[in-house]
Structure formats: C-alpha cells, structure tokens
Structure 1
Amino acid sequence: DWEVPTSGGIARARARLGSGPLEYVFGQVAQPVAEIDTRGAWLGSRRLVSIDGMVWDLPDSAENEAVFGRTTGAAFAQARVVTLVESGSHCAIGARIGPAAGKGSGEQSAAMALVELLDADMLCLADRLFYGFDLWCAAAATGAGLLWRIKDGIELPVVADLGDGSYTSLVFAKGTAAGIRVRLLAAARAGRDVSAGGQARLVRVVEYYVNGRTPAPAGRELICLITNLTDPADVPAAALAAAYHDRWEHEGANAQIKTGLRGPGRVLRSRSPDMVRQEIYGYLLAHYAITALICKAATETDTDPDRVRFVKAVRLARAHVSDPEAFSP
C-alpha cells in the first residue's frame, strides 16, 4: 500500500525530524569502503584520502544569511562544507558544515575537526589552502601519512638531500624567531630531534613541474609537496608525486554531489539553517550510498570505480527507489 509521499508531506516530515538524526546517521555509516584489491584506492598499504571544501548557495533568507554569511559578490547566503573523502571510492567519510563568510568560516578550522578521523593506515592529501603548522601537527599526531601541497613563499631550508629527487627540511610554528630557526636548522642537520619544543617539524619535500596550467616559465608550474614520510625506502619521491594527483578525485566527488545529485546551478531549498544542515547531510548520505555500491560492484569485477558513471548509477537508483516492491518497509 506504500506510495511516494507528496512534496508537502515530505516538507512537514523534514521539519519534524530536524538535522540531528541525519548528522548522527552520517557519522555512524560513513566509513571507508574500498577493499585491499580496489583499484586506485591505495599507495602501497596506505589508504588514499583527501580533505577539501565546497560552497553551497542557499535561499536568500535573513536566517540563512545571519548564520552562514555571504561571500563578497555572492548573490546568495552560502554554506561551506569541508569533507574527508576516500579517494578510491569518492565516499565522504567525514564532514563539517559551517559559514562561508565571517567568523569560523575558514577551511582550516573545519579541517581541524576532520583530522581526528585519520588513522595510521591512511595517506591524507590536501591542497595548499590547508597547510598551517598547527593543523599539520594535529594531523601528524594521528599517525597518518600526510602529503600536502604548500603555498609559494614558505621557506624550506635543506636539511639533507635524500638522493631520489627529494630532501628533508623544517617547517616552523608561526612567529618563530629567526635566531631560533637557525639553531633548530643546525640541530636538524646534526641529526638531532627538533620536535620537542613544538616550534619545528622535520618534513620531506617533493618538487616537480606540470605543464601548461599557469603562465609560468616555459609554460610550467612548480608543485611543492611536503610529507611526513621521510624515508625514501618506504615511498619513493616519484610515487608520492603520482599519488598526489589523486587529490583531484575529491573535486570529482564534489561535482557528483553538487551536479549529479542536486543539479547544475541549483540553490538548496531550505530557508532555515537547521534545514540547510539537514538537506546537506541528506545529499551526503545519498552520495555515500551510491558511491559505496559503485565501489563494491567495481571491486568485484576488478574495475577502477572511476570508470563507473555516477550519473547513470543515480538514474538507476531513481528508477527503482519509488517502486513499492524495491523499497524496504
């Protein structure tokens, strides 16, 4: 006897439910799904994951603007969603929803909560907007491997050449005096541990060029990565450089949610902050369910999950979800 509820019935049920249950369910079910034989999901024994953010346009209501803010030149209030994504499956395994403008709107502050989800079996990738000394230290404390791009202008003095095109260096806490930096660098070059004082960390630097992306000399752009995997015998520099480009899988996952599920250019429907959070967690849960199924099917057929069309999977799900015989009571 089950029938698809009307839009009015769904709206009233959403208001009764609130955002809390969906956030709780996401926190319980959003776990890595790639198996050890899932193609493209690993670097050696380390599961590839990444941190990145996206911005969602919201209905133009006073409540949404007061809570989420509006970035310069934006036509709508906006929410910023920062996620931790398993690269091989595109499954989001952690998320933080916050304002896109004003206090607490930065991606680094959201990422500080997400790094708690890392573990020693992971290699976490992040773009240059995420590097900060405190965030780096918090992420490294989880035992996870880190491979983050950093901005131009950060000084990376050579401690030792590792012979594979990479070298060790030091990153410093903000505000560390020049004299202290010199002493810590000398201690690192002498082979002493410099992390005890909390002002510096030893990192490994991998640098390489990519072609044609920005107006750089000879049409090339320098990519500078730092990692806490300092032993070349563990992971060669070339393998790290190749692995970093799996960070773009996160961009693909964002596009799947915002375009494949929501629809290109569409604004969320919710006019109150709590309903905004509920709606976003709904999208995250729907995306997780579909990408987890894709990953399982791809693994069973020894196919890279990237080769399975997400939009086609969405269409198949939509064709069956309203069928009473296919819908669990």
Structure 2
Amino acid sequence: MRFHQHLDETFSYTEELNSLDKFLSLLDPDIVEQAFEVSGVATLRRRRLPLEAVVLLVIGMSLYRNETVWDIASKLDISLPGKKLLVAPSALVQARQRLGYEAVRQVFEALSQRTFETKSFEQWCGLNLLAVDGVVYRAQDTHENIEAFGCEKNVHGESPYPQIRMCCLMEVSSHLLLASEFDARHVGEMKLAERLLKHVPANSLTLFDRGYYSLGLLNLWHQSADNAHWMLPARKDLQYEVIHQLSEHDAVVTLPTSPQARKKFCDLPDKITARLTSYQVNGKQYRVLSSLTDPLRYPYDELTEVYTQRWEIELGFKEMKQGLHQAKHALRSKKPDMVKQELWGLLLAYNLVRMVMIDATEDTPDLTPTRLSFTLSMRQVVTFFITVTTRSASKLPEHYAYLLDTLRLCVLPDKRPDRVYPRAVRAKPSKYPKKKNASQLN
C-alpha cells in the first residue's frame, strides 16, 4: 500500500495533528511499539514526552544537525500539551536516557526489514545486489567516550577524539541500509561483518572490498541464507587450483583454507569452491572471486560488470557524513550510550529519507532512487514535517503526493563516463601562514 493511501485511511477521522503524528504514520506505530517491548522500555505511564516523541527527537538530531536539541524539540512540536508551553532542556536529556539506544536500534532494524520485504528493487540475474563496507565516526572528547571507544594512536601519542568503527550492509540500487553494526575502534571490520550474517537476505549477491578476504567469513556468508552469494577482488598472491576451465578468462577453482582459519571457524572445510574471473578495463587487468559457480545462470559477460556497483556504498557513506552529519568533526553526544543512540538515530533518519525517495521513483521506470539528489530530497522531507499545516489532516495525502512530485525534480546530472578520480595523498596542511614572495607583495 502506498504511503499516501495509508495516510488517507489513518487520518480520515482526524482534525488536528502534529509532527509526531506525521512521523508515526510514516514509521508505523506497531513497529515502534514492538521495538519498545523488545528493548524493555515500554511503559504505561503517559508522560509529556512519550517514548515515540523521543525517537522523533533523536531522528531530528540528524535532520537538524546545526540546531540544539532544545530547538529541535520546539520546531518539531513533539511534547504533549501541559502547563508550560515548552519542555526544559533537562527533561529532554532525561527522556533520551530513559529511551536508551537499544529501542532506536530495534526501530531501525524492523523498518529496514519491512521496507526491503515490501518494496521492489533492481536485480541482477535474479539476485538483489548488496554491498558491505566500513566507516569511522568521531565522538566528543570525554573521559567516558575514550574509555568506551578508544582513540587512534600516532607517533605523538593518542588522538584526542574517540572513534567508533561501523560496518554496514546496503542495497546498492536504492542506497537503503539493511543492517549496521558498530563498536569501539579496536574491533575490526571483519568482526563487525560477522555480526551482519543474521541480516543477509536470500537470493542476494554481496559485494565486498578486497580487505574482507576471509574464507571463513565468506563460507558463512554463503551459508547464511538460501542462494546468498558473495564477490570480491582477488588478491595478487592468491593460491588456488583450477578444477574446471570455463573459458580463457573464467574458471572454477578451489581455495585451500589455513589451519588457523579452520580452528576459528569450526565448519570451514579444507577447500572452498569459487569462481575466478579476469577481465580488462582500459587496458588494465582485473580479477574477481565469487561464489557464482554456475556459468549458465551467471554468464561471463554480465559477471564482469557487476562489481562496479560496490562503489554505491561509498556514495551512501558520503550522503550520511556530508548530507545528514553536515561534515561535522564529531558527534554531539558526550556519553557512550547517547553516542550509540545518536548513531542509530542517524541511520534511521537516513533510511526514512531513502524510503521517501523510493516512493517518489516507484512508478517511474526511467528514474531510480540513486538518480535523485539526497541533499535536496532531505531538505524537502524536513520542510514537509515543518511547513505542512496541522489543521488539515484530510489534505495530508495531497501534501505528500506534492512532496513526491517535488523529489522527482531533484534529478542529478548525468554521470561523465570519461571522468576519472586518481588516488592521491593530500599534502598535510600547515598551521603557519604561507610566506609570500616579492611579486605578491608589490
């Protein structure tokens, strides 16, 4: 059911609503209530700041990155009527602590799963294309955050900013986040990727970076769901044995596993069967490993083009850090639990914007969600929550339909096929002003 149809049924009897009502209609109150019960924060007491309102506040912290928490609560009008017009800042802090981070995580995971199951996405050879990669966020320089997350060490000591390492699973055709795991900076991406195994959907192909080469992880990934496959670039020193040569540049091979890997992964066999494919792009040779060993179902000509989609997750990280996070140096929360809550709120806010972008392109075959500007779409969604009148609930579906029409105008320019971005090491900036020469002084 389309969102505006759901709103038409939900608000057909309502005369007045606020931002919280709009938010719960988009998010589905059943998901929020179930998340509260699973996390153990559900309560029968009716407060002026209910838990549903606090979830919206946490999401608003990402949508309004340059505003204070108190200003966000005032703009969104999330509190219930009371003796005082506005709630005190201390009440917002206590409300966030009462909510915790596990409830926001449960809301994010339930919403991601429902969206992936109910929406249709582009497929490759009958498989949904996914990608896994890692990203790092900085937290505020407090003693609690340093103890919980740790700092990056360098030759001059430790960095003053604690760091959180995150690993995400993303659907590449829409940039929708399916799952995410994060922990202290000393926890590696391989460990975080193992925690994503329970979220791997059936009939999917996951694209990994070269650094995720672990036969134990790849074997578990292939067994985690029905028809779940993986692909990643082959190492230069790859050791393998050809068991069936499909063509000159395509072969089914066996990869030997090490005793250390078999000790760590109990079900890991002595050898793993995989497919080694090589191809050339602009005269440069590339090789990829995959679990797609069936050459009839996954032909060579299509296999050589699919791995380029892995870059989409990098663009998704850019949208989160530069779009939602406004390229800020660090998160705003000062305690570890609130840092985790803020991160889950950021991921939830990102997916909510992506959901609206998916709705906007659902009936337009020539337009995909990734062709829309995330920054412009996010601004339109924020405007929708603030400016849509709260006295005309029956017209809310019309306002949402207008929002979708507006998002369809936020199309990005066509990509330039001849544009290249060579890797380069940036020069370290100097804290001293550059000395001017004689010609510049005259």
With normalisation by structure 1, the TM-score equals 0.82
Post-superposition offset of 1:92: 0.7
Deviations 1:128-178 (CA, angstroms, capped at 9, x unpaired): 11120110110011230211224332213322211262111112222389x
C-alpha distance in structure 1 between counterparts of 2:268 and 2:163, whole Å:
40
The match for 1:89 is 174
Partner of 1:159: 243
Matching residue of 1:190: none
Q: Which has the higher helix share?
A: 2
Task: Tell me the distance in 2 between the aligned counterparts of 1:235 and 1:35.
Answer: 24
2:208 touches 2:232 (CA, 8 Å); kept in 1?
yes
Pick which of 224-233 and 155-164 moved more: 155-164
Counterpart position of 1:138:
220
Is the partner of 1:124 in helix, strand or coil?
Answer: strand
2:276 is aligned to 205
5+ residue gaps, structure 2, are: 1-16, 19-73, 78-86, 262-266, 394-442
Partner of 1:59, secondary structure, is coil
Q: Give ranges in structure 1 of 5+ residues lacking alignment.
A: 178-195, 212-217
Quote the sequence identity (%).
25
Q: Check the 8 A contact 2:239/2:256 in 1, yes or no.
A: no
Structure 1 residue 231, shift from structure 2 partner: 1.5
After superposition, the Cα gap between the structure-2 partners of 1:210 and 1:14, relative to the gap in structure 1 and judged at 3 Å, is farther
Measured in 1, the distance between the counterparts of 2:390 and 2:256 equals 57
| Aligned mates of 1:261, 1:108 — CA distance in 2 | 26
Spell out structure 1 runs of 4+ moving beyond 4 A.
33-36
From 135, 138, 161, the equivalent of 1:76 is: 161
Paired letter, 1:243: V
1:79-102 deviation digits (Å, cap 9, x = unpaired): 01111101111011111011112x
> Residue type of the partner of 2:242?
V
How far apart are 1:115 and its partner, in Å?
Answer: 2.0
Kindly indicate whether residue 339 of structure 2 is the aligned counterpart of residue 276 of structure 1: yes
Q: Is the 8 A contact 1:91 1:291 kept in 2?
A: yes
What residue is the counterpart of 1:106 in the other structure?
188
1:67 corresponds in structure 2 to 148
What CA distance in whole angstroms lies between the structure 2 residues aligned with 1:145 and 1:91?
19
Partner of 2:231: 147
TM-score, scaled to structure 2: 0.62
2:382 counterpart of 1:313 = no
Query: Cα gap change, 1:10/1:315 in structure 2, threshold over 3 Å: closer, same or farther?
Result: farther
Structure of greater relative contact order (alpha carbons < 8 Å, 6+ residues apart): 1
Aligned-partner SS, 1:76: strand
Alignment of 1:230 with 2:311, yes or no, is: no
- 1:226-278 C-alpha deviation (Å, 9 max, x unpaired): 11111111111231221111111111111111111011143101111111110
The answer to whether the 8 A contact 1:133-1:174 is kept is: no
Output the CA distance in 1 between the equivalents of 2:193 and 2:294.
26
Give the length in aligned residue pairs: 296
Q: Which of the two has higher C-alpha Rg?
A: 2
**1:209-224 matches, cutoff 5 A:** 209-211=280-282, 220=284, 222-224=285-287
Identify which range, 273-282 or 27-36, moves more after superposition.
Answer: 27-36
CA-based RMSD of the aligned residues comes to 2.5
Is the CA contact (8 Å cut-off) linking 2:139 and 2:333 kept in structure 1? yes
